[in-house]
């Protein structure tokens, strides 16, 4: 009997992702699309500007598939019981993302374009995490990196092999040329 596994593998727990004081519709739409693709449980904004909220830049229509919350201030934000709040910010004292163990129940929050998380929001965070880059990256890109790291850390993927390529099936590594299906373009 063969069993089929769901793709992509689902990570344990749940997560949400949002942004504070977002002003760019395309960035927010891209973040929401990535959240939908990575399996977020909900998305949110805090103090988002009207133009960021009203433009429908998420082509996956994530707002039809998962809840989205709009809070005006960090004080209004209400998270589920047990949910940790993790700020993503390039601060010296922040935990480097590759060294961070993701909570099982978490909401990640990113700062605005050309800005940082507010002091009020930083005080609410259980952890502050930084992506190991030389300078800040785009909000949507930062969100995708954090969500990828979460999935990679908590989903049941095979261990990476010591040598290049993917996990082997049977006697050898799975190679790209095995999947060409009759292509003769060299």
54-67 pLDDT, tens digit each: 545 555 656 667 88
Q: What is the pLDDT of residue 50?
A: 52
Nearest CA-CA partner of 17 in 1, 2, 39, 49:
39
Q: What is the pLDDT of residue 22?
A: 84
pTM of the entire predicted model: 0.81
Q: What is the pLDDT of residue 98?
A: 96
State yes or no: pLDDT of 101 exceeds 50.
Answer: yes
How far, in Å, are 41, 48, 102 from residue 80 at the CA level? 11, 21, 17
Quick check: 16 and 46 in contact, CB under 8 A? no
- Ordered by start, the domain boundaries in the chain are 15-154
* Residues found in the chain: 186
Query: Which residues lie below 8 Å from residue 142, measured CB to CB, with a gap of 6+?
Result: 88, 110, 131, 136
- For the structural domain made of 15-154, what CATH number should be given? 3.40.1280.10
Residue-wise pLDDT for 116-157, tens only, equals 999 999 999 999 999 999 888 899 999 999 999 999 998 888
């Amino acid at each position: 009997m063969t069993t089929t596994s769901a793709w992509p593998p689902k990570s344990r727990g749940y997560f949400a992702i949002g942004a504070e004081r977002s002003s760019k519709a395309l960035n927010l739409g891209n973040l929401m699309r990535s959240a939908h693709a990575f399996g977020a449980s909900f998305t949110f904004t805090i103090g988002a500007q009207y133009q960021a909220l009203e433009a429908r830049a998420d082509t996956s229509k994530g707002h039809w598939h998962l809840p989205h919350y709009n809070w005006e201030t960090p004080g209004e934000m209400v998270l589920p019981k047990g949910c940790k709040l993790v700020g993503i910010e390039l601060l010296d004292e922040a935990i480097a993302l590759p060294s961070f163990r993701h909570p099982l129940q978490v909401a990640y929050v990113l700062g605005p374009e050309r800005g940082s998380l507010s002091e009020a929001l930083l005080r609410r965070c259980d952890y502050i995490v930084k992506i190991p880059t030389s300078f800040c990256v785009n909000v949507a890109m930062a969100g995708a990196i954090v969500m990828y790291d979460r999935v990679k850390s908590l989903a049941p993927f095979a261990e990476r092999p010591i040598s290049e390529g993917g996990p082997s099936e049977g006697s050898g590594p799975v190679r790209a040329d095995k999947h060409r299906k009759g292509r003769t373009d060299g």
